[in-house]
Amino acid sequence: MHRHIHALAASPRRSMTSFDEACGIIRARAAALESELVPLETAAKRILARDVVARRASPVHAVSAMDGYAVREADLAHLPTILPVAGQSFAGNGFGAPLPQGACVRIFTGAPLPDGADRVVMQEDVRQKDAVAHFVQPLSPRRHLRAAGSDFAQGTTLLRAGTRLTPQGLVAAAAADRAEVAVWRRPRVVILCCGDELAAPGACGLDPDRIPESISYGVTALVEEWGGEVVARWRKGDDLASLQAAAQDASAMADVIVSIGGASVGEKDFAKQSFTTLGFGLSFEKVAIKPGKPVWFGARGPVLVMGLPGNPTSAMVTARLFLAPLLAGMSGRGCDAAWNWHEMRIGRPLDAGDTRECFLRASALSDMVEPVSDQDSASQNALALATHLIRRRAGASPIAPGATVETLAL
């Protein structure tokens, strides 16, 4: 657990924001950033800001779909027959002249068809001896050609703005003769971990006062998966001056700052204070959900900050619920790509809902989903088994096996 527990007098109770209200606040701040041109080799998984339009047709000229012989069909009106082989046509190095009357050209797959040719005869149906080709077999119904523009014409829109560039999409963009594409800029993210007890994984040994800092690794992966770019990741102790300095430095280099831990009411919980004293206003400070109630969100000008709880499960659940859609929106993908809820059948009964909305960690098999056995907010072993969240509304009625529940893939 990435946080101290202090037995202090309770602070005045602050009102909590509902889950739907918090989602509305996130959506309002999740506008796409400016666009930029990037080379194709760095464009994978980016979101297009403009359509990709073909600069040329594909293919530009008719080409052969087979290895064989380019001919005029009229020259094969009477079979068997023989035609002199006038030359060769390769992909990237065509015959370079019109097809002579009463002749053929040896041609290979993807090679340009000589002007005047209207058919390719497969090499398996032709016997060549010296510079003469013998045509004996009846002609195939197929001409084994790819006509100019048969894939797409010049000016065709191959990919629409808003498309996430998949491997297949990159093929299409390159085929459009585009060396670079316009994409939405990825939000720059700084991750700031708070806690005197935290140490780098592998450095704790048997020291009972130290625990491996684990959450930032999961958050980093989530940031990259949902369109952000982690530009710095810092681990700081529970010192207000140090945290304020880190917050100020992060503000100069980030679009989004993710603060992990220090969100409770203990005497060393300075995370929120380190930002509010720098002029950050908070849009919400607590959300009526379980786990993850201490999650908070604010801004100073264009720089956004999200505070995640220090318990690993709470942190990763709230990151999936709020940070993922924020980054998806800012990177041009849209919040709803991350809030992609689906109904699935539950494999075992569920009790009535809590007074707060609950997000149960669950594992899925085919179209069935079951909560993992350990729902503790500090559990890391059970978190590794989870593939989905099950949303249980506050005060929901008990449900029986086979009923449908709202789920979100992790």
Please report, for the domain that includes residue 25, its CATH number. Answer: 3.40.980.10
Q: What is the mean pLDDT of residues 145-168?
A: 97
Residue 5 has pLDDT above 50, yes or no: no
Does 69 lie in the same domain as 139? yes
Q: Taking a C-beta distance cutoff of 8 angstroms, is the pair 23, 145 a contact?
A: no
Q: Which domain holds residue 212?
A: 19-33+185-337
Does 356 lie in the same domain as 271? no
Residue 387 has pLDDT above 90, yes or no: yes
Does 175 lie in the same domain as 83? no
What does the pLDDT read at residue 263?
56
Residues whose CB is less than 8 angstroms from the CB of residue 149 and which lie 6 or more positions away in sequence, other chains included: 57, 58, 59
Indicate the number of domains in the chain. 4
Residue 54 has pLDDT above 90, yes or no: yes
**How many CB atoms within 10 Å of residue 248?**
12
Does 108 lie in the same domain as 43? no
Nearest in space to 121 (alpha carbons), one of 66, 74, 82, 77:
66
Does 306 lie in the same domain as 228? yes
Residue at 8 is within a domain: no
> Lowest-pLDDT range, 83-92, 169-178, 237-246, 302-311?
237-246
User: Alpha helices of 176-311 — where are they, by DSSP H?
Assistant: 215-225, 240-251, 271-276
Residue at 233 is within a domain: yes
Q: What is the mean pLDDT of residues 144-162?
A: 97
What does the pLDDT read at residue 211?
85
Percentage helix, strand, coil for the chain under 3-state DSSP, each rounded to 5: 20, 30, 50
Structure confidence at residue 14 as a pLDDT band (50, 70, 90): low
Looking up tokens 């998966």, which residue turns up? 225
Does 326 lie in the same domain as 193? yes
Looking up tokens 């209207």, which residue turns up? 118
Residue 7 has pLDDT above 50, yes or no: no
What does the pLDDT read at residue 210?
86
Residue at 13 is within a domain: no
Looking up tokens 């894939």, which residue turns up? 151
Assess whether the previous peptide bond of 59 is cis (omega < 30° from 0).
yes
Residue at 9 is within a domain: no
Residue at 4 is within a domain: no
Residue at 3 is within a domain: no
Structure confidence at residue 264 as a pLDDT band (50, 70, 90): low
Nearest in space to 198 (alpha carbons), one of 119, 287, 133, 261:
261
Q: Which tokens sit at 258?
A: 């993710």
Q: What is the pLDDT of residues 298-355, one digit of tens each?
A: 999 999 999 999 999 999 999 999 999 999 999 999 999 999 999 999 999 999 999 9
Does 295 lie in the same domain as 203? yes
Residue 1 has pLDDT above 50, yes or no: no
Going 233 to 215 to 6 to 264, the CA torsion angle's sign is positive
Residue at 67 is within a domain: yes
Which of 282, 316, 337 is where one domain is finished?
337
Q: What is the mean pLDDT of residues 239-248?
A: 93
The per-residue pLDDT of the chain, averaged, comes to 93
Q: What is the mean pLDDT of residues 224-245?
A: 94
Residue 6 has pLDDT above 50, yes or no: no
Q: What is the mean pLDDT of residues 388-393?
A: 97
Whole-number percent of the chain with pLDDT over 70: 95
Q: What is the pLDDT of residues 102-136, one digit of tens each?
A: 999 999 999 999 999 999 999 999 999 999 999 99
The CATH code of the domain that includes 351 is 2.40.340.10
Q: Taking a C-beta distance cutoff of 8 angstroms, is the pair 117, 126 a contact?
A: no
Structure confidence at residue 357 as a pLDDT band (50, 70, 90): very high
Residue at 11 is within a domain: no
Q: Taking a C-beta distance cutoff of 8 angstroms, is the pair 389, 359 a contact?
A: yes
What is the identity of the amino acid at 131? A
What does the pLDDT read at residue 11?
38
Structure confidence at residue 8 as a pLDDT band (50, 70, 90): very low
